[in-house]
Amino acid sequence: MSILRAMEKYNHENLVFGQDRESGLKAIIAIHDTTLGPALGGTRMWAYTSEEEAVWDVLRLARAMTYKAAVAGLDLGGGKAVIISDPGKAKSEELLRAYGRFVDTLKGKYITAADVGICQQDIDIISQETSCAVGRNPSQGGSGDPSPYTALGVFHGMKAIAKIVFGSERLAGKRVAVQGVGQVGYHLCSLLAEEGAELAITDLNRTLVEKAVRAYHAAAVLPEDIFAVQCDIFAPCALGAVINDRTVPELNCRVIAGGANNVLAEEYHGEELLKRGIYYVPDYVLNAGGLINVAEELYGYNRQRVIEKVARIYDTVTEVFQISKREGIPPSQAADRLAEKRLARRKSWWTGQGVSKVG
């Protein structure tokens, strides 16, 4: 692959590689856009099959963070990082501290947080080497685990789309198929069960499935069968690209709304869903609650302020679908337009002030 050509496609500013032989660290940081502020995005630790796969993933994730921050109204840019390794086998304090030093070399242009394979305790270790990490332990002035707020934002977004599609925001009696019951998925199940929704769940981890079945009286489904489950809402809360050429024909839902990033494998899948009468709520609009939560650390953490900001995801979802209906475009494109409008306003302000931005 041509790395520079891949960066040029969506106008990424930086792609930085780092390694530490002693700890085994192999990491990549992608910064997509800092128009609105420093790039903030989590670090994903994953056993990628190749460096090329890792590069494509980090570039996609970084771009999504730019749009997520813009739509959420945050003065932050988009960035993301990946550590190429199996978190269950290779994670160590030495590796995490080496990664913290790598983040620190960017001098505040990138701020990291937790993601798949990286938890709050890991962030606490990374923070020993850099001040550019959020999501730390509350006892240290941090915001803690962001997953409950990600789930809360998805829940508010579900209520908004339920009002549009079903005529009422109440989720009681609605069947929701949740793919992935890790941290975000599990918290989402809790909110849905309390609301009175009927749950069908799946996860590659059988222990997590059994725990959710006991706690929420959910129906367990095999991972390969979750797409065909007859339901009102399909909620992908695991890895991305699950809506693809293979799975779209299997779908048996009215709405797709979940906490996973980059749910659509390709942009044209959003158009395909629209043709099939399936309402897709753009993932970066729905799952911004975790970003909103960790971003508060930068200004002095206030939990009540976070809850109020996350609740506004309801209004954002409503606005996205108003744009989609008015302009006859898929909601994924409508969300992009909302984000791009805010970015354009900031760039226009720079032009008016005679300021030149160099990535």
Q: Where are the alpha helices (DSSP H) in the chain?
A: 3-9, 51-71, 87-90, 93-104, 120-126, 147-166, 183-195, 206-216, 268-275, 283-286, 289-295, 303-311, 313-327, 331-353
Give the bridge partners for 46, in sequence order.
84
How many residues are there in the chain? 359
Q: Which of 9, 26, 68, 80 is catalytic?
A: 80
Let me know if 80 is a catalytic residue. Answer: yes
Rounded to whole angstroms, what are the CA distances from 78 to 32, 41, 224? 5, 6, 32
Reading the block at residue 255, the tokens are 């709405």
The 10 Å Cβ neighbour count of residue 157 is 28
Token pair listed for 174: 């609605």
Q: Are the CB atoms for 33 and 85 separated by under 8 Å?
A: no
Closest CA to 103 of 35, 31, 47, 49: 31
Distance (Å, whole) CA 173 – CA 195: 9
Instruction: List, as one string, the DSSP characters of 262-280.
Output: S-BSSTHHHHHHHHTT-EE
Element (H, E) at 222: none
In 101-131, which positions are buried (b, 16+ CB within 10 angstroms) versus exposed (e)?
ebbbebeebbbbbbbbbbbbebbbbbbebbe
Backbone angles phi, psi at 234, to 5 degrees: -100, 125
Distances (CA, A) of 120 to 3, 38, 142, 186, 324: 31, 21, 10, 17, 37
- By annotation, the residues acting in catalysis are 80
